[in-house]
Amino acid sequence: MEVEFVKMEGLGNDFVIIEGEKYPDLNYSEFSKKCLDRHFGIGGDGLLVVGKSQKADIYMKIFNPDGGEAEMCGNGIRCVAIYARDSGMVNKDEIDVETLAGVKKIFITKDGVKVDMGIPKLHPDEIPVKIEGEAIIDHPLRIKGKWLKITCVSMGNPHAVIFMEPDEDEFKKFGPLIENHKIFPKKTNVEFVKVIDKNTIRVKVWERGAGPTLACGTGACASLVASHLKGLTERKADVYLPGGKLIIEWGDMGHVFMTGPANYVFKGIFLRND
């Protein structure tokens, strides 16, 4: 089967975008494993399937390189909004996007794409994480003989935020072990955070189902929420990831807003049939 696609990126977090209506019989989970392979496929951190929605303007489905489906993707939703507007799927700059984490409102502006990421969830049952309590802040977790402190947040998908700056060996060791830890029934994304000042943090991300990525929008949001909960930052901060900067604000009404870029890379036709 020939599959038309567009390649886009947000801070180096790169995606293959296809229109669902064109390929209703395609097994997206299996297709993602093939097309996201960086040696034998197109290459990317995620497959984004977009189409018209009955609940919103458009829907977005997200599939990781391991074939798993994710609830939400902050960098991906910015790309999808730009693609939907430019392709004529929608004809406006304020777009409602249906995801597994609910309907998200997108604002396309001259300064970038702003996303209402919703209200973060902190109760362990909603993340989910198998730890008792009302909120999980600085909970000790022993990994390979080392005690780490995790703060757990859901931005529609699970996140474990750790305030440390790991070296490369620690990052590659702790990332997958925490992602797949038994206390996370749906696995988890992992963020390693260094606080620079009250308005600036630096984040390195190990993404669930993808591993190291240059950026993670929901991870940036979770990191800001965790930083503020611990009294380390204000409610708005510049979040620097390996791929660049996102502006994250936890508004007074509880919603988290993310602003960042979304860019085209190339388009083509995927021909691999095996």
CA angle 72, 161, 109 (to 5 degrees): 45
How far apart, in Å, are the Cα atoms of 71 and each of 47, 68, 263? 13, 10, 22
Is residue 79 flagged as an active site residue? no
User: Concatenated DSSP letters for 151-209?
Assistant: EEEESSSEEEEE-----HHHHHHHHHHHHT-TT-TT--EEEEEEEEETTEEEEEEEETT
Is residue 73 flagged as an active site residue? yes
Residue pair 70/40 in contact (Cβ under 8 Å)? The answer is no
Instruction: Say how far apart CA 24 and CA 21 lie, in whole Å.
Output: 6
Among 35, 79, 216, 221, the active-site one is: 216
Among 73, 79, 152, 221, the active-site one is: 73
Instruction: Say how far apart CA 189 and CA 125 lie, in whole Å.
Output: 16
Which residue numbers are catalytic? 73, 216
